[in-house]
């Protein structure tokens, strides 16, 4: 078991390193340096700036220095507004984490519930309705869903105040972010519930006279949960990327919106910083969900 853990953690570290290398060298491949702006600055100033950011050194050395600073939490400064990138990330990620956390909770709890219902009433109308809507939800891009929700609930029906300077309304963003993973979890839960309920131990439990509800939850759901755990890693990745769209549509001002802005502004150092930060989160989440999966399910062999 420990061997597996060590191997998995090593893979995660290699992945993070690969992301750093790809981002760094990709950004370096873009023609023109960060200080070649439209306003031609004094050569002396430019040289000073390049010295400050080690741009006068060979690329390989720059990379080593960049990684070194990265481990001290220094992601450099934004090329557009000169702010510390680590500071921007710290502020905006608080918002994104809250939005993503609520969405993940909604997706998991609703998805599990609907999945159990669909499995319980297999091929009856509740199952058909649930599967119809989840199939539909899986074919709507998140920015379309977010824009439609915004249009319908704020301008047409005027039920929700779209934007308030003091307070962010998380309802619509959470719905637009949570629907796709919820649909996925529903289908996953349904199919794994159906698989589990056909197992011999379920029949044994029923034969012993265990009440149906108890069989569904204690014997069935616990085992049906396993595939859902493996989906948590990809779900976090989906939510982090999806929140770029949703935050931009609802102008919430989280990390996703910062990222979209930096892409639109071609703010390379900011793109680099956010990519590395988000990658580390995604890789870590994948690692945790893999490790938890192995701990929770003792049947899996570790060779």
Partner 1 sequence: MSEQDNNGRNGKRPFSFHTDLSVFMPATEEEKAQQDIMRPSSTFWRDGFRNFRKNKLAFGSLILLIIIIFTILIVPMLIPYGYDEIIRIDGKRDKTLSNLKPMQWSERELEAKANGKEIFPHILGTDSLGRDYLVRTLYGTRISLFIGFFASIIVLIIGLLYGSISGFAGGKIDLLMMRIVDIIYSLPDMLLIILLSVVLREAIGDKIQGTFLSKLGTGMLSMFIVFGLLYWVGMARLVRGQILAIKENDYVLAARSVGASNARIIRKHILPNCISVIIISTALQIPSAIFTESFLSFLGLGVAMPMPSLGSLASDARGAIQSYPHKLLYPALMICLLVLTLNIIGDGLRDAFDPKLRK
The owner of tokens 């809507």 is: 133
| Number of residues this chain uses to bind partner 1 (CB under 8 A) | 48
Closer residue to partner 1, CB minimum distance, 155 or 166: 155
Contact segment (CB under 8 A) with partner 1 among 13-21, 43-51, 205-213, 291-299 equals: 13-21
Q: With CA atoms as reference, report the closest residue to 274 among 35, 114, 86.
A: 86
Residues 176 and 145 sit within 8 Å (Cβ to Cβ): yes
Q: Cβ of residue 118: shortest distance to partner 1, in angstroms?
A: 12
> With 0-12 CB in 10 A as exposed, 13-18 as middle and 19+ as buried, what is 251?
exposed
Stretch 278-297 residues interacting with partner 1 (CB under 8 A): 278-279, 282-283, 286
Residues 287 and 8 sit within 8 Å (Cβ to Cβ): yes
Among 68, 101, 141, 211, binds partner 1 (CB under 8 A): 141
Polymer length of the chain: 303
| 6: contact with partner 1 by CB under 8 A | no
| 118: contact with partner 1 by CB under 8 A | no
Stretch 224-243 residues interacting with partner 1 (CB under 8 A): 237, 241
HSE at residue 178, side-chain half, CA atoms within 13 A, is 21
Q: Cβ of residue 116: shortest distance to partner 1, in angstroms?
A: 16
Site string for partner 1, 160-199 (x = CB under 8 A): ---------------------------x---x--------
Closer residue to partner 1, CB minimum distance, 102 or 237: 237
Q: With CA atoms as reference, report the closest residue to 246 among 174, 182, 169.
A: 174
Distances from the Cα of 187 to the Cα of 87, 88, 193, 195, angstroms: 40, 38, 10, 12
Residues 116 and 165 sit within 8 Å (Cβ to Cβ): no
To 10 degrees, what angle do helices 268-296 and 85-120 make? 40
10: helix, coil or strand?
helix
Site string for partner 1, 16-55 (x = CB under 8 A): --xx--xx--xx-xxx------------------------
Site string for partner 1, 69-108 (x = CB under 8 A): ----------------------------------------
Contact segment (CB under 8 A) with partner 1 among 84-92, 104-112, 207-215, 257-265 equals: 257-265
The owner of tokens 């990327």 is: 241
Among 1, 64, 87, 148, binds partner 1 (CB under 8 A): 148
């Amino acid at each position: 078991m420990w061997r597996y853990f060590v191997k998995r953690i090593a893979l995660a570290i290699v992945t993070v390193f690969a992301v750093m290398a790809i981002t760094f060298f990709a950004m370096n491949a873009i023609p023109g340096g960060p200080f070649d702006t439209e306003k031609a600055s004094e050569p002396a100033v430019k040289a000073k700036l390049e010295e400050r950011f080690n741009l006068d050194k060979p690329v390989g050395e720059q990379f080593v220095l960049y990684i070194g600073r990265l481990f001290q939490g220094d992601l450099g400064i934004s090329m557009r507004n000169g702010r510390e990138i680590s500071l921007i990330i710290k502020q905006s990620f608080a918002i994104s984490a809250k939005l993503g956390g609520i969405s993940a909770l909604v997706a998991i709890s609703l998805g599990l519930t609907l999945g159990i219902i669909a499995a319980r009433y297999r091929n009856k109308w509740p199952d058909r309705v649930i599967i119809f809507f989840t199939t539909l939800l899986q074919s709507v891009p998140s920015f379309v869903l977010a824009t439609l929700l915004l249009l319908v609930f704020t301008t047409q029906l005027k039920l929700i105040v779209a934007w308030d300077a003091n307070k962010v309304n998380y309802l619509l963003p959470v719905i637009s972010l949570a629907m796709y993973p919820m649909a996925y979890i529903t289908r996953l839960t349904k199919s794994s519930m159906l698989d589990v309920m056909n197992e011999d131990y379920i029949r044994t439990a029923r034969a012993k006279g265990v009440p149906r509800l108890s069989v569904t939850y204690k014997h069935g759901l616990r085992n049906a949960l396993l595939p859902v755990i493996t989906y948590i890693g990809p779900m976090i990745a989906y939510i982090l990327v999806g929140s770029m769209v949703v935050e931009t549509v609802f102008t919430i001002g989280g990390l996703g919106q910062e990222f979209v802005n930096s892409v639109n502004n071609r703010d390379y150092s900011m793109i680099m910083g956010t990519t590395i930060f988000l990658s580390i989160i995604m890789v870590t989440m994948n690692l945790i969900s893999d490790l938890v999966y192995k701990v929770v399910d003792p049947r899996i062999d570790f060779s």
